[in-house]
Structure 1
């Protein structure tokens, strides 16, 4: 019995040492999370996103962003590194290009080049002949570690997010890197501008907790930027330079705050409204906001015990002044990680970073 007790005590000490001392990749920062608004009011639970029809992607996974091209076809990047192109009904599916990385945000420039925010490769361009080139993978001497959303201005300048300077996707796994960045809350995300004339990138604004979707305002003077880690959407002046959004400035304001989930892609819809995907509902991480040591402890537990967002489809639309005009949900979990919406005359295509198909509903 004494031997068993000693073995048990030794095992307990080993477990305690592991839980308290084993290295983890994050250096968590304490912060104050706002009280979740819950699914009430404008966000009251509904089924408006339920029953989405599906377009097969030929075995590919992860249509994280969907773009309606000038040719009337749909473009989407998937986890294999390919950019797929198809008709509006999913027919004529083909591989348009292969970046060799993880293409996320997409937009076309005035010359017909497909501009790609690739989480692994940086800011890319796919020419009409489908050749792929790197526009920017550094800002000065600093590497672009997690290019995410992208928007091309009428003057040709390109705005895109570098979601984290701390965590880059490993083996194209953007979800793992995103989760680590949100857990750490070091707020190293930033918004960058690439100028084709100078062939150089500069920092527009930083201090963001996982900067995500990027969209230009109608007058091209402002950028709407999703800050996933703090559940909000910013409005930031395009002519800002090295702005830290954590310091009050007339060049940056929070447009949507304390959202019920993690804001992701931003896409212009009909009538000027802006569609936003919420990639998952908030969870017990809010309770750990001011407990950095608890977040470190959590990473030492088996992955199955981590408080990941439950599958919950949720997208919404808002006006440029921040008024929410549509809220669509699917509580069933059939649309697990709804990263955004692309609106056409007849349909809403649902972006989804983890799905093996592309969902759509009638507009």
Structure 2
């Protein structure tokens, strides 16, 4: 992997609420995000925090995580409390698309991506730990994440992949033939082939990432997949993951009782469809912590965070 370059912050925009976990940009360069209190916001005018317009476009009953804009302007929303939603960004109307899979209630919906045929794929990070106990799943290494697919006329999604290590962000390949899944707990990106040779199979796309991949974002089919790194690699955790399940469970209980504060590390990657690194940007001592999402908007990188009360706008790297 190429030597990382500096991730340069330009400005910070407070949103008056906690945890803008995912950020996505629309065609006009406006950024959408969801806060812990259920509000979905749209931000315009990122160039100047003083004059930026922050507009509430909807509110859900749960906790919004992954977002995906649809061609008609609607917004897909993963509710961490167990549902896949569709939001009309004009009226604010919220519709439930799925609450069950394989005969079980959904739990910890994480990220979603729209497919060319009108279906959607989305992830469930854990079937053991809820969002508030996300650290417990990373420590215990439960491997209970799932990738699901909901066809346009289906009432319940089908399970495409099981056994994923904290399934998280999703992105579509440039040609639409596969999806890329971020496995946060395994520090890898996994490719699942939807069509063509090898359809229905999964394979590693990038392994041994320098940090824990969270949400993914792709602006255009010919652009790279941006990967938010929620934290730097922790070597002792790699060793713990090789321990017996009961040892990991005990360690997870201890981790959940200990106070948590993310380090000052922030990082993002951009990779192409072959898994080659296009950009690798980091900052070791940042006042903005725990980057869980990244998107491009108006020539800048916009960072979201499960931890912060706003978003960060950073300098974008020169195209390669």
**Which residue number in structure 1 is paired with residue 105 of structure 2?**
143
- 1:259 corresponds to 2:204: no
**How much does 1:267 deviate?**
0.7
- 1:225 corresponds to 2:175: no
Q: Which among 53, 78, 89 is matched to residue 11 of structure 2? A: 53
Measured in 2, the distance between the counterparts of 1:302 and 1:163 equals: 18
**How much does 1:150 deviate?**
0.7
**Which residue number in structure 1 is paired with residue 155 of structure 2?**
199
**Which residue number in structure 2 is paired with residue 277 of structure 1?**
228
Q: Which among 121, 128, 146 is matched to residue 166 of structure 1? A: 128
Measured in 2, the distance between the counterparts of 1:139 and 1:189 equals: 13
**How much does 1:207 deviate?**
1.1
- Rate the CA distance shift 1:140–1:208 in 2: closer, same or farther, 3 A: closer
User: Which secondary structure state, in structure 2, belongs to the residue aligned with residue 200 of structure 1?
Assistant: coil
Alpha-carbon contact 1:299-1:306 (below 8 Å) kept: no
Count of paired positions: 307
- Rate the CA distance shift 1:203–1:304 in 2: closer, same or farther, 3 A: closer
- 1:186 corresponds to 2:142: yes
Measured in 2, the distance between the counterparts of 1:139 and 1:307 equals: 32
- Rate the CA distance shift 1:250–1:72 in 2: closer, same or farther, 3 A: closer
Q: How does 1:82-97 map to 2 (within 5 A)?
A: 82-89=39-46, 91-97=52-58
Measured in 2, the distance between the counterparts of 1:112 and 1:184 equals: 39
**Gap runs ≥5 in structure 1:** 1-40, 241-247
Measured in 1, the distance between the counterparts of 2:191 and 2:70 equals: 22
What is the CA deviation profile of residues 298-331 of structure 1, one whole-angstrom value per residue up to 9, with x for unaligned ones? 4554867578763310101111111101111110
Q: Which among 286, 293, 297 is matched to residue 238 of structure 2? A: 286
Name the one with the larger helix percent: 1
Q: Which among 67, 84, 89 is matched to residue 24 of structure 2? A: 67
Measured in 2, the distance between the counterparts of 1:298 and 1:310 equals: 20
Name the one with the larger strand percent: 2
User: Which secondary structure state, in structure 1, belongs to the residue aligned with residue 9 of structure 2?
Assistant: coil
User: Which secondary structure state, in structure 2, belongs to the residue aligned with residue 85 of structure 1?
Assistant: strand
Measured in 1, the distance between the counterparts of 2:200 and 2:101 equals: 25
- Rate the CA distance shift 1:73–1:306 in 2: closer, same or farther, 3 A: closer
**How much does 1:362 deviate?**
2.7
**How much does 1:107 deviate?**
1.2
Alpha-carbon contact 2:141-2:165 (below 8 Å) kept: yes
Measured in 2, the distance between the counterparts of 1:348 and 1:313 equals: 13
Measured in 2, the distance between the counterparts of 1:343 and 1:228 equals: 22
**Gap runs ≥5 in structure 2:** none
Q: How does 1:117-132 map to 2 (within 5 A)?
A: 117-127=78-88, 128-132=90-94
Alpha-carbon contact 1:214-1:266 (below 8 Å) kept: yes
Measured in 1, the distance between the counterparts of 2:313 and 2:278 equals: 19
Alpha-carbon contact 1:267-1:341 (below 8 Å) kept: yes
- Rate the CA distance shift 1:320–1:300 in 2: closer, same or farther, 3 A: closer
Alpha-carbon contact 1:153-1:220 (below 8 Å) kept: yes
Question: Which of structure 1's runs of 4+ aligned residues deviate more than 3 A?
Answer: 292-309
| Aligned-residue RMSD, C-alpha | 2.4
Alpha-carbon contact 2:136-2:253 (below 8 Å) kept: no
